[in-house]
Amino acid sequence: MSSSKHRERSDPSIEAAEAMGVKALQFLASDPVQLHRFLDLSGLRPQELRAAASEPAFFAGLLDFLLGHEPTLLAFAAEADVAPEDVAAARRSLSAAFGAPAP
């Protein structure tokens, strides 16, 4: 018996994973409280954000931030109209592409 619940999804392409990261950044930018929390936890200053976003590992870290706090993850997933599992899959793709450790 096959159901969509038991179907394995393949991880997204690096481009799709980066696009998820861009959506996540837009989500954080629209919420000053979450953006401040991300900056505090990442050690970035607001003026460093644009330069950091051009680094390959930035979006992996940003998705880690979402994955590490379920309420934020669920809020992002609802706003972006994606499943929380899709965020984890995007993070795995970024890990594989940039040689970062998988979460």
User: With a cut of 50, which residues of the chain have pLDDT below it?
Assistant: 1-8
**pLDDT in the model for residue 7:** 37
pTM over 0.85: no
For residue 101, give Cα distances in angstroms to 36, 44, 80: 25, 21, 25
Alpha helices in the chain (DSSP H): 14-29, 32-42, 49-52, 58-67, 70-80, 84-98
**pLDDT in the model for residue 65:** 96
Which single residue is written with the structure tokens 């109209």?
81
If we measure between CA atoms, which residue out of 63, 58, 65, 60 comes closest to residue 34? Answer: 65
